[in-house]
């Protein structure tokens, strides 16, 4: 009896991108019964055969006798996880003629991409990266994808791809044989889902701190990084949680991009097919470097990528390991993380707003005496100058007086700030397209953040007295451009530059410490 060869197409995750993986099953009646998986599988993939064998038998299907070789191509890419259970099962059933050749009205396996984990009773369990699989199918021009039912809504967020939800192997075999139809999952209206979200924290709940709210408005309007410095219990964490509520809603493309990251990292809740809010990540200060920027033998996204298009909030910045903090320098500049391993290099998107908070001293308070100033200098020095240089706004958040805490009058609320941010972003979009002010290169600043004589003299004086770097020079101009946008004016005036310089708090403190 000649060998029978069957093929089913699945995928391999490379970072958050899906690469086509061909699952080939070669069945030969000659020789002792034996099943072999080749193609650089990990332990979970090698165990797939036992799950497939048991699931097929428990659903009443015959597991073929003879020599069965399963190849996962391309063989040079490492395959991991149980995502290949369903493609292997279908290729085995196709090789054994349990899945009949398609008629005109039946779907063809070579038109579909397939992924799913099998339970021992034949149920299909969810997998990571279903949305990346759907994007790959659209790129390859395939008819659709077969994914676990729990992943169907996630994959259906991709336009132009039919998503067939599979609840069990039996249901799927009936579908491929034209016996049991499976209706494609209806398309997901991503824009409606995103715009239906409401902020979790309202700025009106933050008592006082109007100056800090002004700084947050500027940060949100221009997409700037920010560091808040103040005693414990002044509302720094609460304002960081409220910040995403004033940012523009995720666009459809941004929502898909963030969802891809969460799906590939295994962080997408089963009842949430799409990331609808701008993410806020708040890693603990004991987090390691790979946990923050991503890594592992098979690279996975870290906190900076999970905060993509959202906010990465570092509470008590000086308590983080200095080596961990230094890993943030490259993603803050480039908006991507590059993880290099012996088997290749993977890039993860990491375009986020960094919001940090720190107490003035390790005790959490600050007194106006020489000893406290020295303690603060030592504490602030735990954060390196190059990292501070990459943070646009340094904002002081003082203790709130009792009169403001006990007042029933609410301060500036989220809706007000959001409207100001929206108008400023509209100014930027009209002038410079998709780039926000924080992303403007130097050449664009020379064009759109041109300084008059008074502004130039003021900035020159600040650079001389504070010892600002060339990077800080550009940061000041970007902030001044955002302040002008909030006032809806085209030109940058001296008072815009003056306010921008006021947000270089740590530069002033370090210069004062050097004088002391």
Q: Counting Cβ atoms within 10 Å, is residue 228 exposed (0-12), middle (13-18) or buried (19+)?
A: buried
Structural domains for the chain = 4-176 (3.30.230.10), 195-515 (3.40.50.300)
Confidence (pLDDT) at 194: 67
Confidence (pLDDT) at 195: 66
- DSSP string for residues in 229-277: E--TTSSHHHHHHHGGGGSPPPPHHHHHHHHHHHHHHT-S-TT-SS--S
Q: Are 414 and 242 in contact (CB under 8 A)?
A: yes
Confidence (pLDDT) at 364: 65
Confidence (pLDDT) at 66: 83
Confidence (pLDDT) at 417: 95
DSSP percent split of the chain into helix, strand, coil, nearest 5? 45, 20, 35
Task: Count CA atoms closer than 13 A to 367's CA, side-chain side.
Answer: 6
3-state secondary structure of 474: helix
Of 80, 110, 117, 78, the residue nearest 94 (C-alpha): 110
Q: Counting Cβ atoms within 10 Å, is residue 22 exposed (0-12), middle (13-18) or buried (19+)?
A: middle
Confidence (pLDDT) at 516: 55
- For tokens 């993986």, what's the residue? 21
Q: How far apart are CA 454 and CA 443, in angstroms?
A: 21
Of 20, 61, 320, the residue nearest 145 (C-alpha): 20
Cis, bond preceding 74 (omega within 30 deg of 0): yes
Confidence (pLDDT) at 1: 44
Taking only the tens of pLDDT, the chain with its 516 residues reads: 455 688 999 999 988 999 999 999 998 877 678 889 999 999 989 999 999 999 999 999 988 888 899 999 999 888 988 999 999 999 999 988 888 776 655 668 889 999 999 999 999 999 999 999 999 999 999 989 999 999 999 999 999 999 999 999 999 999 998 888 899 999 887 777 766 667 778 898 888 889 999 999 999 999 999 999 988 888 898 899 899 889 998 888 899 999 999 999 888 887 788 888 889 999 999 999 989 998 877 788 999 999 999 999 999 999 999 999 999 998 998 899 988 876 678 889 999 999 999 988 877 666 666 666 677 778 888 888 889 889 999 999 988 887 877 777 778 899 999 999 999 999 999 999 889 999 998 889 999 999 999 999 999 999 988 888 888 999 999 999 999 999 999 999 999 999 999 999 887 776 665 555
Determine the distance from the C-alpha atom of residue 277 to the mean position of all C-alpha atoms in its chain, rounded to a whole number.
11
117-118 and 124-125 as β-strands: parallel, antiparallel, unpaired?
Answer: antiparallel
Largest CA-CA distance found in the chain, in angstroms, rounded:
92
């Amino acid at each position: 009896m000649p060998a029978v060869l069957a093929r089913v197409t699945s995928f391999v995750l490379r970072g958050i991108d899906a690469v086509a993986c061909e699952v080939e099953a070669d069945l030969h009646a000659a020789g002792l019964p034996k099943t072999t998986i080749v193609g650089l599988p990990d332990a979970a993939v090698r165990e797939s055969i036992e799950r497939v064998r048991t699931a097929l038998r428990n659903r009443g299907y015959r597991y073929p006798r003879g020599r069965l070789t399963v190849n996962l191509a391309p063989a040079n890419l490492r395959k991991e996880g149980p995502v290949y259970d369903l493609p292997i099962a279908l290729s085995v059933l196709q090789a054994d003629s349990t899945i009949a050749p398609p008629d005109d009205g039946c779907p063809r396996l070579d038109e579909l991409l397939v992924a799913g984990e099998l339970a021992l009773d034949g149920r299909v369990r969810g997998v990571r990266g279903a949305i990346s699989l759907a994007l790959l199918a659209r790129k390859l021009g395939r008819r659709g994808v077969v994914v676990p039912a729990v992943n169907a809504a996630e994959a259906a967020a991709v336009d132009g791809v039919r998503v067939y939800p599979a609840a069990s192997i039996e249901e799927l075999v009936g579908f491929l044989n034209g016996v049991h139809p499976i209706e494609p999952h209806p398309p997901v209206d991503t824009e409606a889902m995103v715009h239906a979200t409401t902020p979790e924290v309202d700025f009106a709940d933050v008592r006082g701190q109007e100056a800090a709210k002004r700084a947050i408005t500027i940060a949100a309007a221009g997409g700037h990084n920010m560091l808040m410095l103040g005693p414990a219990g002044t509302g720094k964490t609460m304002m960081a949680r409220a910040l995403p509520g004033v940012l523009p809603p995720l666009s459809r493309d941004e929502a898909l991009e963030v969802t891809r990251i969460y799906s590939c990292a295994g962080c997408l809740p089963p009842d949430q097919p799409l990331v609808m809010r701008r993410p806020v990540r708040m890693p603990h200060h004991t987090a390691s470097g790979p946990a923050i920027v991503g890594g592992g033998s098979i690279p996975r996204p870290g906190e900076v990528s999970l905060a993509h298009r959202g906010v990465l909030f570092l509470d008590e910045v000086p308590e983080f390991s200095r080596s961990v903090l230094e890993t943030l320098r490259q993603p803050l500049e480039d908006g991507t993380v590059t993880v290099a391993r012996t088997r290749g290099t993977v890039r993860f998107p990491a375009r986020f707003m960094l919001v940090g908070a720190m107490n003035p001293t390790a005790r959490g308070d600050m007194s106006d005496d020489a000893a406290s100033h020295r303690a603060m200098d030592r504490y602030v020095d735990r954060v390196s100058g190059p990292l501070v240089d990459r943070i646009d706004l340094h904002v002081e958040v003082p203790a709130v007086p009792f009169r403001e805490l006990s007042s029933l009058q609410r301060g500036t609320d989220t809706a007000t700030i959001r409207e100001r941010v929206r108008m400023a972003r509209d100014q930027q979009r009209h002038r410079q397209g998709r780039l926000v002010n924080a992303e403007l290169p130097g050449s664009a600043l020379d064009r759109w953040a041109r300084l008059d004589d008074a502004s130039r003299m003021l900035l020159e004086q600040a650079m001389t007295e504070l010892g600002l770097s060339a990077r800080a020079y550009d940061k000041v101009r970007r902030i001044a451009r955002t302040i002008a946008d909030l006032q809806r004016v085209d030109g940058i005036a001296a008072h815009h530059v003056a306010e921008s310089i006021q947000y270089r708090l740590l530069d002033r403190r370090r210069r004062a410490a050097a004088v002391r």
